[in-house]
Amino acid sequence: MNLAGILVLAAVQNYGPFDINGWELRGAVNNEGAYVCSVSIPYNSGIDLAFVRSASTFRIALQNSDWALDEGQRYSLSLRVDNRFSQTVTAHAAGGQTLAIDYDYVPNSQLENALIYGNILHVTAQQADFQFALTNSSRALPGLETCLQQGRRNPFAAGPKQITD
């Protein structure tokens, strides 16, 4: 299952999808009019992991088609990336099959650096422990910024003229 649903996409994709070493990068305008980008990867467990960014927010999302979550329900979790980052967080069900952990986006935060340079993301819940290899996240996560730059293009500002038919 693809994590495009996490983006709450409008009808048209604006950017991608592009493959970045197994991670799928895409961007679009969501229902609130904000440009949002995500990188996601499926795991053998049936869970997809995604990192979703807008200009001001960062989301870690887990999605599994077998889950039956109550939308809006909150869950206490522990996140850890190797020995680089550890935090207790409150996640919420962003749909029946999607769990989301939301942050205000802070460039070069301890979390972002841990996800880029770390090896394993550990998520500990009440009844389960999950581990996600962060293979090639060092290539995928910077792609979010590139995607967001594409969404910020302004064809009416000064710059090189481009003519389209």
Query: What tokens appear for 91 in the block?
Result: 């996640």
Which tens digits make up the pLDDT trace of 81-105? 999 999 999 999 999 999 999 999 9
pLDDT, average across residues 33-61: 94
Residue 36's pLDDT is 93
- Candidate from 4-8, 11-15, 46-50, 77-81 with smallest mean pLDDT: 4-8
Is the pTM higher than 0.75? The answer reads yes
Ranges of each domain in the chain: 3-151
Burial per residue of 20-35, b for 16 or more beta-carbon CB atoms within 10 angstroms, e otherwise: beebbbbbbbbeeeeb
pLDDT over threshold 50, residue 153: yes
pLDDT over threshold 80, residue 142: yes
Residue 45's pLDDT is 94
Burial per residue of 44-71, b for 16 or more beta-carbon CB atoms within 10 angstroms, e otherwise: eeebbbbbbbbeeebbbbbbbeeeebee
Strand order from edge to edge, sheet including 98-104 = 15-20, 23-29, 35-42, 47-53, 57-64, 98-104, 85-95, 74-81, 120-124, 129-133
Which tens digits make up the pLDDT trace of 102-129? 999 999 999 999 999 999 999 999 999 9
- Determine contact, residues 7/52, Cβ cutoff 8 Å: yes
CATH class of 3-151: mainly beta
In this structure, which amino acid lies at residue 41?
Answer: I
- Determine contact, residues 8/31, Cβ cutoff 8 Å: yes
pLDDT over threshold 80, residue 66: yes
